[in-house]
Amino acid sequence: MTIVEVLENSDSNIIRIFIVRHGQTDHNKLKILQGHLDISLNSTGEKQAKILAKHFESIPIDYFISSDLKRCKETLEPVLEIQPKDVKYTSNLRERNMGKVQGMYLKDALATYGENFRNLGETEIEFTKRVEYEWNKLLDTDYKNIFLCTHGGVITRLANYLNKDLGYKLNHGLDESKLRVPFNTSITVVDYKRTTQEGLIVDFGNTLHLGGQFEVKDQLLR
C-alpha cells in the first residue's frame, strides 16, 4: 500500500475531504463496544489529538463537520485551537448503534451473539443512509478543504460504499482489502471533482503523523 503525504487542496474544481477517526478511548483499549455510548478520550487519545492538530497547522480547513459524541468533539478541540472555526456537530455521523451489545466486551458479544452482533441494533441500510445524507450535503458546497471527524465503523462503511456502490476510484497502491477499520486519528483523504462528479479515495487510514503506519488488529471492534 502506497502512503501519500496528506496535503492541502488548492484546486477550486475539487472538494478534498479529510476524514479523521477520533482518538483512542479506554473502551478502545479494553476492547469494549462503544456504538452510541458517549465515551471520552483517554490520555493516549488526547496526545494523538494534539499530534493531529500539529499536522493540520499547514492545511487550512474551510469547514469542519463532526459526530456529536464526546470522543470526536475532544479530538477536534486542539485542531480548533489552531484553526478557530464553527463546527457542525451531527448525530448522523455517529458510530453504528449496536443495541444491546453496546458496553459489552468484544469477546463476550462474540460468545453470546456471534459475529453478527452488530445487526442487533441499527441496520446497515439505516446506518449508510444517515452518513450518505451528510456526505451529499458536503458535495454541494464551494469548499476546497473539509475536515470530517467521525468513527471507525463510519469510515469503513463510507469508504466501501463510495468505492463499491458509487464508483469512487482507488488511488494507486490502494485496493479494496485495505478499506478496513482505520487506526485512531488516522487520516483518510477523498477528492471529488465538481465538473465530472467523479470521486477518488486518495489515501486511507494514514497515520504517518503518529510516527509510523499503524493498523487496527480487532476489526470487529467499534
This prediction has a pTM of 0.95
- Model pLDDT for residues 176-210, shown as the tens digit of each residue: 999 999 999 999 999 999 999 999 999 999 999 99
String of b and e for 66-95 (b: at least 16 CB within 10 Å)? Answer: bbebebbbbbbebbbeebeeebebbebbbb
- Mean pLDDT, rounded, of the chain: 95
- The residues annotated with a catalytic role in the active site are 22, 95
Distance separating alpha carbons of residues 140 and 156, to the nearest angstrom: 23
Closest-CA residue to 167 (of 198, 192, 138): 198
Identify the pLDDT of residue 1. 47
- Model pLDDT for residues 49-82, shown as the tens digit of each residue: 999 999 999 999 999 999 999 999 999 999 999 9
Percentage, residues of the chain above pLDDT 90: 91
Identify the pLDDT of residue 61. 97
Distance separating alpha carbons of residues 10 and 160, to the nearest angstrom: 26
CATH of domain 14-30+41-97+123-210: 3.40.50.1240
Torsion sign over Cα 189, 215, 3, 199: negative
Identify the pLDDT of residue 4. 64
* Average pLDDT value for residue range 26-40: 97
Confirm whether residue 96 is marked as ligand binding: no
Domain coordinates in residue numbering, the chain: 14-30+41-97+123-210
* Average pLDDT value for residue range 14-28: 98
User: Cα dihedral angle (31, 32, 34, 39), rounded to 10 degrees?
Assistant: -90
Residue 40 · residue 71 · CB < 8 Å: yes
Query: Which residue do the cell numbers 496526545 mark?
Result: 47
Helix axes 70-82, 43-55, angle to 10 degrees: 40
- Model pLDDT for residues 125-141, shown as the tens digit of each residue: 999 999 999 999 999 99
Which amino acid, residue 1?
M
String of b and e for 152-185 (b: at least 16 CB within 10 Å)? Answer: bbbbbbbbbbbbeeeebebbeebeeeebbbbbbb
Confirm whether residue 153 is marked as ligand binding: no
Confirm whether residue 213 is marked as ligand binding: no
For the cut 60, the answer to whether the pLDDT of residue 3 exceeds it is no
Confirm whether residue 26 is marked as ligand binding: yes
